[in-house]
Amino acid sequence: LGSMNEEHRALELLPQFGRLVRDDEKQQDLVLYAADTPNSWKVGTLLEELRVPYDVVNVDIMSNQQKQPSYTAMNPNGRTPVLLDRSANPPFSVFESNAILLFLADKYASPLLPRDPEARSEVEQWLMWQISALGPMFGQCMYFKRIATTSVADIARLQFGIDRFHAECVRLVKILDARLANRDYICGPGRGVYTLADIACWGYAASFFWAGIDVEGLAALQRWLSRLGERPAVVAGARVPGVPILGATGVLFEDMRTDASIQDTLTTGARRAGRPFFNWDDMKALAGTQNVEVFAGQPEFQSRHGSSQPSSRGRPTTPPPVAWMVVGMLAGLVIGRNVWGAR
C-alpha cells in the first residue's frame, strides 16, 4: 500500500496535520488509509478540524490495493477509507466513513457531534441520509456518465440508468437546498451550527460538476457550499491523500472541482468526440495515461462481464445489447463504489 511514485507532488498538497507515508513508515497514533474520493475527504476534514496529527497511506484503488488481505483485515468490505487507531492495544480499525466520523468525534469529545440526545440524533439522521442517499446516488450518476460510457459505443443503451440516477441526484440536492433555506448549516437551532452533517454532505454536494448536476437556482445550497469551502479544514480535507487516482500526472478531484480551465478541457474533449458527457477517457487524456484501463485489475467486473481485456477499440468488451441494462446496473453497484470508495 501507499505507492510513493507521486510523493514529491503529494507532499506539496497534504494538509497541515496529515503526513503522507508508506504503510511501513507510519508513526502517528492515527493512520488514515485513503483515496482521492469524497469519503476520504470527510475524514481528512474532521482530522483537520480536530487538529490531530495523523499519517496518511495512499490506497491505489485502480490496482485494487483495497482488496489485498492486509487491507481487508481492517475492512472486510474492501473499500476506502479506513482509520487505524494505534493508541489502542491491539490497534483498532474503523471502516465506513461516517462510522469513522462518529468514532473520532466521540474519541475527542468534539462539539461537532452534540452531546444532547436530540441534537445528536439530528446530526446522525443527516449522516444516515448522506450514506444512504446523497453519496450512493452521486456515485451511481458518476458511474453511468463517466465510466460506463467508456465501455459502449451507443450511449442510448445506458440512458435509463443515466436518467434514473441523474433525476435522483437532482431531487437530493433540492432537499439539501430546501433544508438550508434561511440556514447557514444543516443542523442545530436557528441558522444552525457546523457539525459532522456538514462535513459528511459537503464532498458529494460539492462534486456536482463531476456528477453532471446543475445547481443553478439552488441559492441556499450554493451559499452553503461556498461557506464551507472557505474553511481551512475543508480545503485541506479535500486534498487527502493528495495523490490523484490516475497517478502523478493525473488531476486531483478538488482541482477539477475548482479549476474552470480543467473543466473546459474535459468538456471540450467530450464535445470533440461527439459525446454528451466527459468520461474516464477524457480524464486519462488530461493525465496523459492512455494506457490505464478504468476496469483494469477489478475482478468483480471480470467475473460479471467476462474478460476485461481491451477490444480492438482499446476498451473492455461489452455484453450483448439485450443484457446491457442488467449488466450496467450491477456494474454500477460494484465498480462505481470502487472509484468513490466506501461509505
Instruction: Using pLDDT thresholds of 50, 70 and 90, give the confidence band for residue 175.
Output: very high
Lowest pLDDT segment from 43-47, 126-130, 138-142, 330-334: 330-334
Q: Band the pLDDT of 341: cuts 50, 70, 90.
A: very low
Question: Which residues, listed in sequence order, are joined to residue 11 by a DSSP beta bridge?
Answer: none
Q: Full-prediction pTM beyond 0.75?
A: yes
Report the candidate in 249, 252, 247, 224 with the shortest Cα–Cα distance to residue 236.
252
Q: Per residue in 282-307, pLDDT tens?
A: 999 988 854 444 333 322 222 222 33
Rounded Cα distance between 13 and 9, Å, is 7
Only one residue has cell 484503488, namely 61
The set of residues, in sequence order, having a beta carbon less than 8 Å from that of 136 and lying 6+ positions away, is 343
CA distance 201 to 134: 7
Task: Summarize the confidence of residues 264-278 as an average pLDDT.
Answer: 93
Asked if 3 and 58 count as a contact pair (C-beta separation under 8 A), the reply is: yes
Is the confidence at residue 110, as pLDDT, over 50?
A: yes
Instruction: Yes or no: say if 26 and 82 are a contact pair by the CB < 8 Å rule.
Output: no
Do 54 and 28 meet the contact criterion of CB atoms below 8 Å apart? yes
Taking only the tens place, the pLDDT of each residue in 303-331 is 222 332 223 223 333 333 333 333 344 33
Place of cell 469551502: 229
% the chain with pLDDT above 70:
80
Q: What is the pLDDT of residues 192-202, one digit of tens each?
A: 999 999 999 99
Q: Which residues in 40-72 are b (16+ Cβ under 10 Å) and which e?
A: bbbbbbbbbbbebebbbbbbbbbebbbbeeebe
The verdict on whether omega for the bond into residue 111 sits within 30 degrees of 0, i.e. cis, is no
Q: Provide DSSP, 249-284.
A: TS--HHHHHH-HHHHHHHHHHHHHTT-SS--HHHHH
Q: Which of 39-53, 117-131, 213-227, 328-342 has the lowest mean pLDDT?
A: 328-342
Q: What is the pLDDT of residues 230-251, one digit of tens each?
A: 999 999 999 999 999 988 889 9
Q: Indicate if the pLDDT at residue 131 is higher than 90.
A: yes
Comparison of pLDDT for 254 and 298, the residue scoring more = 254
Residue 33, Cβ density class (10 Å: 0-12 exposed, 13-18 middle, ≥19 buried): buried
